[in-house]
Amino acid sequence: MRALLPYLALYCRHKWLLTLGVVLAIVTLLASIGLLTLSGWFLSASAVVGVAGIYSFNYMLPAAGVRAGAITRTAGRYFERLVSHDATFRVLQHLRVSTFSKLLPLSPAGLARFRQGELLNRLVADVDTLDHLYLRVISPMVGALVVIMVVTFGLSWLDVQLALTLGGILLATLILLPPLFYFAGKPTGEAIAIQRGHYRQQLTAWLQGHAELTIFGAAPRYRQQLDETEERWQEAQHRQADLSALSLAVMMLISGAATILMLWMASAGVGGNATPGALIALFVFCTLAAFEALAPVTGAFQHLGQVIASALRVTEITGQKPTVVFTDRAHTIPERVALEINSLSFAYPEQAQMALRDISLRVEAGQHIAILGRTGCGKSTLLQLLTRAWEPQQGEIRLNGEALGQFDETALRASTSVVSQRVHLFSATLRDNLLLAAPGASDAELSEALSRVGLEKLLEDAGLNSWLGEGGRQLSGGELRRLAIARALLHDAPLFLLDEPTEGLDAETERQILDLLATVTRDKTVLMVTHRLRGLANFDSVIVMDNGRIIEQGHHADLMASGGRYYHFHQRL
């Protein structure tokens, strides 16, 4: 239960709307109970009057009460659903935003051990499950408790003994059955949450890697694993369905026994009247209606195990402490950036081998530096440390003489334009994906940026309203790369960190992009990781890395004359 406390705090942000939903639910339940009770008494009283030969009977008032109860129940149910679902969607919105805002500071260190499908499942499915807390647990429980008190108080005006008997049975049912079925359904609820996560994770991986699985003949085996996971998930759902049926059966048994007891007790007299007549029907129908209000309670607590399991799965991620913590003190955004790296060493978590070893580097403002080396030598890691994606174990990084940790996140992000190896696009329009880099840019500026990187054809048809889809799947690798460069140009920061910006481009397009970057970043500081040797003579300095160290550094001409690793790179062409 303690796992739900952080999420209950989010519910308090909409406490008035949620409270209104509970009040409307109570009004609806009471109207339903009153309608059935009054209708049963009215029909029975009418029959008794006819048999007794009594010709004066006020049927107008109870008939009006029946109509009022029916109208109140219908209107109350409509507005209760309207308010409750609106409140639930608002809470769900804040749950998602709150969860995502806690995920962002954890990336990438705190999320590296989770697969993308697992993260997606916890962010979507597990967060969605938390809305059961209000709709299936809190609202039914509060409503049932209030109904018990109102019914007991109302019937006590007719007969205290009968009212307390019925109230005691209802209260005992409310206290005993929910915990019983909670503990019975807890393992099943946890199994549903876990198997659902496994299934969606495997399904996402199967969809993303279907081509590779088919090529290597592994698709049937992977599909069998997916089917086995689905079977375990369905078995858990069947067990929960059986438990739900059992809870309803137990509730019907208790309801039937209570109805018979009330019929027997009311037959002996109501409120001192030995011939209660139609009042017997009033107590019987009231008992039946009151137990209908309690029906959702036992089933609700079966879902509580699933809700708690989902809360624990989400908290497992969001409860982590960020590896990188930014200062809250605002920092001015520099117009020019000089870099100084002193004795920098870094190793990824749970990795014995160092990714960077004693790196020292000084980059003056406006200098262009190219970084070369074999795959895995630490080039991309160095750029990630400059953006504070990770925190180094040793050494320091300084921007304009100040420690990198003194920059708040907003200032650091505004000071840096990044083109990473993986280009991330959202399932949104072309305009939306470009505005991530420059929220205040006009359509004309966005179109100009696309034209500068040779993506004019994307402006055809729907133009900036073109829907890119998930990950921009209709775009080629080269188009994705150029779109990332367009975003970097729009961001227009004093420091450019480029990780393989021309990867996937043909020779002519590569030349155009390099010329464009050289023009745009003439007065800016640039660090570019590359495997391509084209245009490196135009850089102020070239760095060659190997095994996490800088092994060569200097101008293109000097490195060529030295006959070292850089020279041999050119000889292999």
Q: Domains of the chain: which residue ranges?
A: 2-318, 339-571
Residue with tokens 């209802």: 170
Q: Buried b / exposed e across 490-507, counting CB within 10 Å, b at 16+?
A: bbbbbbbbbbbbbbebee
Q: Which residues pair with 359 in a beta bridge?
A: 344
Amino acid at 106: L
**Token couple for 276:** 């209660």
Q: How many other C-beta atoms can be found within 10 angstroms of the C-beta atom of residue 248? A: 14
Amino acid at 95: L
Query: CA gyration radius for the chain?
Result: 35
* pLDDT computed for residue 257 by the predictor: 92
* pLDDT computed for residue 521 by the predictor: 86
User: 334-377: per-residue pLDDT in tens?
Assistant: 888 899 999 999 888 877 788 888 888 898 988 999 998 888 88
**Burial classification of residue 406, based on how many CB atoms lie within 10 Å of its CB (0-12 exposed, 13-18 middle, 19 or more buried):** middle
* pLDDT computed for residue 517 by the predictor: 86
* pLDDT computed for residue 164 by the predictor: 92
Q: Buried b / exposed e across 555-571, counting CB within 10 Å, b at 16+?
A: ebeebbeeeebbeebee
In whole angstroms, give the CA distance from residue 119 to residue 313: 10
In whole angstroms, give the CA distance from residue 528 to residue 108: 21
In whole angstroms, give the CA distance from residue 217 to residue 386: 42
Amino acid at 98: S
Beta-strand relationship, 368-373 and 394-399:
unpaired
In whole angstroms, give the CA distance from residue 143 to residue 291: 12
pTM of the model: 0.71
Do 10 and 96 contact (CB within 8 A), yes or no?
no
Do 498 and 524 contact (CB within 8 A), yes or no?
no
Which residue positions in the chain have pLDDT lower than 50? none
Question: Which among 93, 99, 12 is positioned nearest to 310, based on CA atoms?
Answer: 99
Beta-strand relationship, 368-373 and 416-419:
unpaired
In whole angstroms, give the CA distance from residue 406 to residue 398: 9
* pLDDT computed for residue 3 by the predictor: 65
User: 123-146: per-residue pLDDT in tens?
Assistant: 777 777 777 777 777 788 888 889
* pLDDT computed for residue 522 by the predictor: 87
Please give the CATH number for the structural domain made up of 339-571.
Answer: 3.40.50.300
Angle at 49 between CA 46 and CA 50, to 5 degrees: 85
**Token couple for 367:** 């200098």
* pLDDT computed for residue 149 by the predictor: 92
Taking the C-alpha atoms of 392, 395, 401 and 403 in order, what is their torsion angle to the nearest 10 degrees? 40
* Phi, psi dihedrals of residue 528, rounded to the nearest 5°: -125, 120
Q: How many other C-beta atoms can be found within 10 angstroms of the C-beta atom of residue 284? A: 21
Those residues with Cβ within 8 angstroms of residue 252's Cβ, 6 or more apart along the chain or in another chain: none
Task: Assign domain 2-318 to its CATH superfamily.
Answer: ABC transporter type 1, transmembrane domain (1.20.1560.10)
